Amino acid sequence: MSGQARILVVGTDDEALQAIAAVVQPLGHLLLHVASTEELGARLADLRPELLILDGDSAISRDTGKLGATLATVRSLAARPQILLMARVDDSLREQMWQTTHADDLIDKPFEGLDLHVRIRALIRVHRLTAQALRDRDILNALFELSTFSKAYATTDEVLVALAGRVSEWTGLAHVVVTLGPASQPRLAAETHKKNGGSGQSLIDRRHAELVARGEMLLVGEADGVLAGESPATLPYVGVPLRSQNGEVLGVLHAWGQGEVPSGANLRVLRVAAERVSTEIQLHASNRRLEEMVEARTADLTTALERLRAVNAQLLEGSRDTVMRLARAAEYRDGDTGEHVDRMSSYAQVLSRQIGMTAEDQALIKLAAPMHDVGKIGIRDSVLLKQGRLTTEEYEHMKEHPLIGARILAGSRAKLLQMAEQIALSHHERWDGTGYPRGLKGEDIPLVGRVVALADVFDALTTPRVYKDAWSVDDAVTHIQKERGLHFDPRVVAGFEQCLDRLLEVRAAYLYENGSHHG
């Protein structure tokens, strides 16, 4: 963990505050303090802490009514701070404060400096990993939307104007402009300006000529740009060449006005947006040529339209690949190679076809299933990576990962991420109602969650792990049949039995691909 964190202590005990400061200051973090629930509520937005430390001996923490209402606002934040409660073992209000605050961790008073040091490092790391996951979710939304962006617009000009506006929203860059044509004759194709600053026409003409000639992305930071005599209003600047399939530079996507050089995630959106603009321009040019040829060369038109469909299919496949790679990233944190999510998602697709789900849902579940455990990114390393049996408290913490995953995936308009949210939240529910996190029963559990639950268990049983050998297929099938009506939906178990041969073909293909031939 690196970088200064903002830690807010809520309490009135000067001695406790000094003891906390003795631990926090050597770590290089910024220590803040409020002495009342009113001050906490009023200053929370400005202070933006990553960690709240609640002193259980303070009158603030012991007024659980006021504190609970204030912390409800804290927990509603998209990337809420982690909460650490400090309380004495013999304190009669200890349990009530724990329940009211919904704290992420609890430390006994009086505490040892090393213990507090370890808790602070772990909680700040969890906060930052969760915040990064939320940012990745937004990037994932943007990348997925780019793949089918033109469906709602009648003309290429409308698509380019809309794309410029959406890129500005996704990246926070105030000015986004698309120029086309040769180096000496730029043509303005689309622009959006979210604040004053003019179109920067001289900047655009100069950058267009430079980028068409060099053919590579250009980043100009504020310091470098000012030293070169450029206006601060046009800095920092990002220019991305628009390339055709044969490498020709068709134009430039210009963006500026954020106040800082865009992050790696925003640069990724800009690159994909440039590819999408390039595709749209090429599609428009191809369509125009085809319209001129349609009366005389109907056969040629049919061939050209097939090529266009292939371009769109390739673009959609690229988006699917992006989604899959982002989903697999969560598996690596607990030591999985990523092969589990590949196999399990294929099993889920076969099962969904067998039980009669729509073709669209079959395709979506293949992409959404790998994100079932994305919430593990918010689980402490000490729990996630523990080799031995988990304690009751550790197991309860581990059981939070479906809620964390659902929160990361929530709020999307894309069908893929809506299904992924359902799966993340429900794949540990059981048909008999004894699962978690909500104890849903029977058909109250979303069907996609029931399908993924069985696919996940089948792969886990038949795959060797560091803590167990792989079960035989026969033993795994027998176990699943015994859990019919208990863990698993009887309808899904019946579908599993009917398509077992196809599931084993999928399993064999993955084993062969990875050079493993055990049974």
Q: What CATH number should be reported for the domain holding residue 51?
A: 3.40.50.2300
Same domain, 130 and 182: no
Of the two residues 495 and 255, the one the predictor is more confident about is: 495
Same domain, 247 and 379: no
Q: Identify whether 411 is part of a domain.
A: yes
Tell which phi-psi region holds residue 338, choosing left (phi > 0), alpha (psi between -120 and 50) or beta.
Answer: left
Q: Is the model's pLDDT at 302 over the cut of 70? A: no
Q: Identify whether 304 is part of a domain.
A: no
Q: Across residues 460-477, what is the average pLDDT?
A: 88
Q: Identify whether 146 is part of a domain.
A: no
Q: Among residues 183, 146, 179, 144, which one has the least CA distance to residue 255?
A: 179
Helix/strand/coil percentages in the chain, nearest 5: 60, 10, 30
Q: Identify whether 353 is part of a domain.
A: yes
Same domain, 16 and 56: yes
Q: In this structure, how many other beta carbons lie within 10 angstroms of the beta carbon of residue 202?
A: 11
Q: Is the model's pLDDT at 488 over the cut of 90? A: yes
pLDDT recorded at residue 402: 95
Kindly report the backbone phi and psi dihedral angles of residue 199, in degrees, each rounded to the nearest multiple of 5, phi listed first: -80, -15
Bridge-based pairing of strands 175-180 and 187-193 is antiparallel
Tell whether the torsion through CA atoms of 121, 124, 128 and 129 is positive or negative.
Answer: positive
Q: Across residues 12-21, what is the average pLDDT?
A: 83
The pTM assigned to this predicted structure is 0.46
Same domain, 161 and 123: no
Instruction: Locate the DSSP E strands across 227-358.
Output: 237-243, 249-256
Q: Which of 293, 311, 334 is the last residue of a domain?
A: 293
Look up the CATH number of the domain holding residue 201: 3.30.450.40
pLDDT recorded at residue 136: 60
Q: Among residues 451, 452, 503, which one has the least CA distance to residue 476?
A: 503
Tally of domains in the chain: 3
Q: In this structure, how many other beta carbons lie within 10 angstroms of the beta carbon of residue 80?
A: 19
pLDDT recorded at residue 269: 72
Q: Across residues 360-387, what is the average pLDDT?
A: 87
Q: Is the model's pLDDT at 24 over the cut of 70? A: yes
Q: Which of 108, 141, 174 is the last residue of a domain?
A: 141
Q: Is the model's pLDDT at 224 over the cut of 80? A: no
Bridge-based pairing of strands 82-88 and 51-55 is parallel
DSSP 460: H
Same domain, 224 and 360: no
Q: Is the model's pLDDT at 67 over the cut of 80? A: no
Same domain, 416 and 362: yes
Per-residue pLDDT reduced to its tens digit, 403-420: 998 998 888 888 888 999
Of the two residues 496 and 316, the one the predictor is more confident about is: 496
- The amino acid present at 489, given as its one-letter code, is D
pLDDT confidence band for 169 (50 / 70 / 90): confident
User: 243: helix, coil or strand?
Assistant: strand
pLDDT confidence band for 247 (50 / 70 / 90): confident
pLDDT confidence band for 141 (50 / 70 / 90): low
Q: In this structure, how many other beta carbons lie within 10 angstroms of the beta carbon of residue 70?
A: 20
Q: Which of 96, 111, 141 is the last residue of a domain?
A: 141
- The amino acid present at 363, given as its one-letter code, is A
Determine contact, residues 329/432, Cβ cutoff 8 Å. no
- The amino acid present at 36, given as its one-letter code, is S
Same domain, 232 and 191: yes
Q: In this structure, how many other beta carbons lie within 10 angstroms of the beta carbon of residue 14?
A: 9
Q: Is the model's pLDDT at 150 over the cut of 60? A: no
Q: Across residues 421-433, what is the average pLDDT?
A: 96
Q: Across residues 278-294, what is the average pLDDT?
A: 66
Q: Which three-class secondary structure string do you get for 110-125?
A: CCCHHHHHHHHHHHHH
Q: Identify whether 309 is part of a domain.
A: no
Same domain, 251 and 339: no
Same domain, 50 and 129: yes
Determine contact, residues 455/348, Cβ cutoff 8 Å. yes
Of the two residues 309 and 354, the one the predictor is more confident about is: 354
DSSP 465: B
Q: Across residues 182-205, what is the average pLDDT?
A: 77
Same domain, 49 and 160: no
DSSP 333: T
Q: What percent of the chain has pLDDT over 70?
A: 77
Q: Identify whether 300 is part of a domain.
A: no
- Segment of 206-215, 231-240, 295-304, 341-350 carrying the highest mean pLDDT: 341-350
Helices assigned H by DSSP within 25-112: 37-47, 59-62, 64-75, 94-101
Same domain, 167 and 228: yes
Residue 330: give the domain boundaries.
324-513
Kindly report the backbone phi and psi dihedral angles of residue 83, in degrees, each rounded to the nearest multiple of 5, phi listed first: -125, 125
Q: How far is residue 145's CA from residue 191's CA, in Å, rounded to a whole number?
A: 20
Does an H or E element contain 366, and which?
A: helix 359-368
Q: Identify whether 44 is part of a domain.
A: yes
Same domain, 349 and 281: no
Q: Is the model's pLDDT at 292 over the cut of 80? A: no
Per-residue pLDDT reduced to its tens digit, 501-513: 999 999 998 887 6
